[in-house]
């Protein structure tokens, strides 16, 4: 019998091939198939989403309020955030050094430039209300945590749960023990539910890929194709480095780490959502025998603020727009773009392509055409399919590094 990883990959390939065949079919006789298949993929994604909040809440509470030495959460949190910042800074430097010279090889013809600059590719800023940074900062402490849950504002939820768990760890033993047992039971129930959802993952992935491929067909050529291939290529290089980090620093066997990551990567590729990939990441961490306590603490934070590969997509896109519009970027401008995008990667408002919209002030300050963001938004659906698996891999690589000492102590 095929493993879950193999079945998910088969579902991915069959969905892509079926969708492309439908898009290329000479008449409309197959055009209704995606309409019937699309709800299946949506139902599967909804099933994943419904587990996220109770899973995050139960994991954080049991990790922070459990029987650990004093200062456990603060110590682990400091290491985790420090590692996040170091890895994002490294990927920003890597992109700044590689993307501009490779994009300089790109030559545009007049037809390509006219197509890319068409009115449909401009940014309609009037239709989007971007929350200011001040509001985002204030909302980190939710006035109504239940509303934050309903609004899927995960970072405020995590802040509230972390504070709740920290306070819970300081109450009298009977009450703390009762709450700890309750949330431990919730966590175990969620893991059973996740195993059920992952069992039907091949069907959900097939439905998502068929719908997407039938809509897009075989797209992207010329300049757009070059940009996409370059960006995806840099993302692949970054993922290879993540595997090396997991092997060298995390002391994980390559085959074991790759096999455990694959289902979560496929879920990320098909859903384009790190949050939706969270249950699959917990399954991967369980297969890798990583500390449940560290996993329960780190992964909820990682999916909220750690966007390891996003600077590659955003910085490459910005350098591409500058090249498209004939704007020469010097070393200082290239460095400013890399640094600013690295910082902005930790702040993503809850709107579609929010990571792109928040770059508008950066474009204005560097005299880059803001309408170029509209072009990037049009291509964002493709880029995101590769960014999310890279972010998923980064989360698991970080976990392998943070749990190395615990695993070696257990082996001894």
Average pLDDT for the chain: 80
229: domain range? Answer: 4-411
Number of domains in the chain: 1
Predicted model pTM: 0.73
Report the CATH number at residue 335: 1.10.3860.10
Contact of 267 with 379, CB cutoff 8 Å? no
- Note the pLDDT of residue 411: 57
- Note the pLDDT of residue 73: 64
- Note the pLDDT of residue 238: 95
List the one residue out of 286, 346, 275, 344 whose CA is nearest residue 315.
344
- Note the pLDDT of residue 44: 85
What separation in angstroms does the CA of 108 have from each of 122, 165, 220, 234? 19, 56, 14, 21
List the one residue out of 164, 179, 180, 145 whose CA is nearest residue 53.
145
- Note the pLDDT of residue 361: 66
Contact of 41 with 207, CB cutoff 8 Å? yes
- Chain length of the chain: 412
- Note the pLDDT of residue 275: 80
- Give the whole-angstrom CA distance, residue 291 versus residue 213: 38
- Residues of the chain falling short of pLDDT 70: 1, 5, 67-74, 108-133, 136, 152, 215-224, 347-358, 360-361, 371, 374-375, 377-378, 408-412
């Amino acid at each position: 019998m095929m493993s879950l990883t193999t079945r998910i990959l088969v579902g991915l390939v069959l969905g892509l091939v079926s969708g492309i065949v439908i898009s290329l079919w000479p008449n409309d006789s197959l055009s209704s198939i995606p309409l019937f298949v699309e709800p299946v993929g949506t139902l599967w994604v909804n099933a994943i989403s419904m587990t996220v909040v109770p899973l995050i809440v139960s994991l954080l509470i049991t990790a922070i309020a459990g029987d650990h030495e004093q200062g456990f959460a603060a110590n682990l949190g400091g290491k985790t955030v420090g590692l996040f910042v170091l890895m994002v800074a490294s990927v920003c430097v890597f992109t700044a050094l590689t993307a501009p010279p490779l994009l300089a090889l790109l030559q545009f013809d007049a037809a390509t430039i006219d197509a890319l600059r068409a009115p449909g590719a401009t940014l309609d800023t009037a239709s989007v209300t971007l929350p200011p940074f001040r509001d985002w900062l204030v909302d980190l402490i939710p006035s109504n945590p239940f509303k934050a849950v309903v609004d899927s504002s995960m970072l405020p939820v995590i802040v509230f749960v972390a504070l709740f768990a920290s306070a819970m760890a300081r109450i009298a033993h009977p009450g703390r023990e009762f709450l700890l047992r309750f949330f431990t039971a919730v966590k175990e129930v969620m893991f059973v539910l996740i195993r059920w959802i992952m069992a039907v993952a091949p069907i959900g992935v097939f439905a998502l890929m068929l719908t997407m491929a039938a809509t897009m067909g075989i797209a992207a050529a010329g300049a757009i194709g070059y940009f996409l291939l370059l960006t995806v290529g840099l993302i692949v290089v970054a993922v290879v480095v993540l595997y090396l980090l997991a092997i060298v620093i995390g002391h994980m066997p390559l085959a074991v780490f790759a096999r455990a990551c694959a289902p979560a990567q496929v879920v990320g590729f098909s859903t384009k959502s790190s949050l939706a990939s969270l249950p699959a990441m917990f399954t991967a961490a369980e297969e890798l025998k990583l500390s449940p306590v560290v996993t329960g603490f780190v992964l909820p934070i990682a999916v909220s603020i750690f966007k390891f590969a996003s600077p590659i997509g955003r910085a490459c896109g910005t350098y591409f727009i500058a090249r498209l519009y004939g704007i020469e970027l010097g070393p200082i401008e290239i460095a400013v773009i890399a640094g600013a995008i690295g910082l902005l990667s930790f702040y993503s408002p809850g709107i579609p392509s929010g990571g792109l919209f928040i770059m508008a002030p950066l474009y204005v300050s560097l005299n880059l055409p803001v309408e170029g963001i509209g072009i990037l938004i049009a291509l964002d659906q493709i880029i995101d399919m590769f960014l999310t698996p890279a972010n998923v891999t980064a989360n698991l690589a970080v976990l392998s590094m943070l749990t190395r000492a615990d695993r070696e102590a257990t082996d001894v």
